[in-house]
Structure 1
Amino acid sequence: MKYFQSMNAACNDVGLSFNEEKYNKFMKYKDILKSWNNKINLTAIVEDEDIVKKHFIDCIEIFKFSPIKDISNIIDIGTGAGFPGIPMKIVDEEKKITLLDSLNKRINFLNQVILSLELNNVNCIHGRAEDFSKELEYRQKFDAAVSRAVANLTVLSEFCIPYVKIGGYFIAMKGPAVEDEIKESRSAINILGGKIEDIIKVENNNFNHNLVIIKKIKGTPKAYPRKPGIVSKKPLK
């Protein structure tokens, strides 16, 4: 129970309950992450305490955007090792989470985590974000899209906003220096049907970042996202 107190405090800080069952799931998740990380590259953060602080608690803090507590159907774009989607699911079991990643090895890892932690209503998709948001099953079907992926906000917005219903949110987890990205992305976000509603600063043991809250206020034009490869090479202006 070494990390219980810090994780409990993080949950309490955002108005969520925490208990031993949730803690044990996080510890099992940590162990699976470390084991698989020896075979495939999932994270450069490998010390137990750092995994708890820089992955688990960091992801819990997405709930500092309080409306997400009332949002049920969420897609995590470029989820990687399951961040923030799986921690969100552990602390709020009512969430329906879709995890999307382009690397099949990571999907295999995520399916193992889901099975081992006995998580319900978690779906994994192997593929590119640009492709699946063209499908009727996924386009503008989610209450929220979240992403912790390392990409410029302009690029990330084209990947994520098409998945979100009008009235829903795209929540981008970004680093401490986000002002320039926000300025550069405003036009693209508008084209894609979004509007920056808030920027929430999060401080976590000197590990600081921002939640960029984008509300979907109109439909995304059919032309977006563009074909794979183009989004990153030629970001929207």
Structure 2
Amino acid sequence: MNLENLLEDGLKKWNIEISKLQQSQFKIYMDTLLEYNKVMNLTAIEDPQDIYTKHFLDSLSCLSIDIIKNGDRIIDVGTGAGFPSIPIKIMKKDTHITLLDSLNKRINFLKEVGNRVSLENIEYLHSRAEDAGLNKNHREKYDIALARAVAPLPVLLEYCIPFVKKGGYFICQKGPSALEEIKGADKALKILNCEIEKVFDIDIPFTELNHKIIVIKKTGNTPKGYPRKAGKPSKEPLA
């Protein structure tokens, strides 16, 4: 199966259609990722088919749950090489995406992707999540926060929830340990005024991967003092 068919057929399983332009954008994205990966550590996955399934389709599984809408203001916290937000932006061009990462060379890579793929309404933010979450330009300004990071859920909640407006959502991609992590997140959920709305089981097409998407709704404003200063959420999680 060629890569275009892989993406098209995979998305059909979620009733998502892809255009020729979007197909070409994903190809440019992959080529840029592989080019930059030779000189910096962006991904351990270098096989094109695996990039399409384990990065692109995995990222786009966030669209299968029908929460992200055109016009949404979205922040991807700890975006790394741009997952899941750049694939989402390609498929939903009317969203406004902010890519947040603490490493400036990754931000420079993401800017290059944005230029080559011709992405509009996209912002690149070089910052620690804890610092940006206290910044009045970003605090409680977003409809949705995304994270595909490997930090435990209580840590991710403190990183991500401060960005979300009351009534907005944090969409968190997790592996098989998701349900155990949820059990350990009660304290963080209460302190940060949010609740688990739903957990989705996601099978990634053409792989044996089964992931969870945790949808967390923000029910009240983030209390003053959160997020705590840089480094504290990971060293002393709210658990």
> How far does the alpha carbon of each residue in 1:3-30 deviate from its partner, in whole angstroms, 9 at most, with x for none?
1222113333334320111011101100
Q: 1:8 to 1:16 in 2, by over 3 A?
A: same
For residues 11-160 of structure 1, the aligned pairs below 5 Å read 11-70=11-70, 72-160=72-160
Amino acid corresponding to residue 115 of structure 1 in structure 2: N
Can you give the 5+ residue segments of structure 1 that lack an aligned partner in the other structure? none
Tell me the TM-score normalised to structure 2 length: 0.96
TM-score, normalised via structure 1 length:
0.97
CA distance in 1, matches of 2:70, 2:116: 27
Q: Note the alpha carbon deviations across 1:84-143, whole angstroms, 9 max, x for none.
A: 010000111111100000000000000000000110011100010000110111100000
- Counterpart CA distance in 1 for 2:232 and 2:99 is 23
Q: What amino acid is aligned across from residue 125 of structure 2 in structure 1? A: I
Distance 1:167 1:10 in 2: 31
Structure 2 residue matching 1:209: 3-state secondary structure: strand
- The CA RMSD over aligned residues, in Å, is 1.2
Identity of aligned residues (%): 44
* Structure 1 residue 177: Cα displacement: 2.2
Equivalent residue letter for 1:144: I
Q: Tell me what 2:237 maps to.
A: 235
- Cα distance in 1 between the residues matched to 2:16 and 2:93: 11
Query: Aligned ranges for residues 134-213 of structure 1 at < 5 Å?
Result: 134-204=134-204, 205-213=207-215
- 8 Å contact from structure 2 (residues 60, 88) kept in 1: yes
- Do the aligned partners of 1:73 and 1:144 also contact (CA within 8 Å) in 2? yes
Shift of 1:70: 4.9
Whole-angstrom CA distance in 2 between matches of 1:138 and 1:19: 32
**Which segments of 5 or more consecutive residues in structure 2 lack a partner in the other structure?**
none
- 1:230 and 1:67 map into 2 onto residues whose CA distance is 31
Mapped to 2, the partners of 1:171 and 1:94 lie a distance apart of 19
Aligned residues: 237
User: What's the secondary structure of 1:214's corresponding residue?
Assistant: strand
Q: Following the alignment from structure 1 to structure 2, what is the Cα–Cα distance between the partners of residues 214 and 62?
A: 13
Mapped to 1, the partners of 2:15 and 2:93 lie a distance apart of: 14
What's the secondary structure of 1:68's corresponding residue? Answer: coil
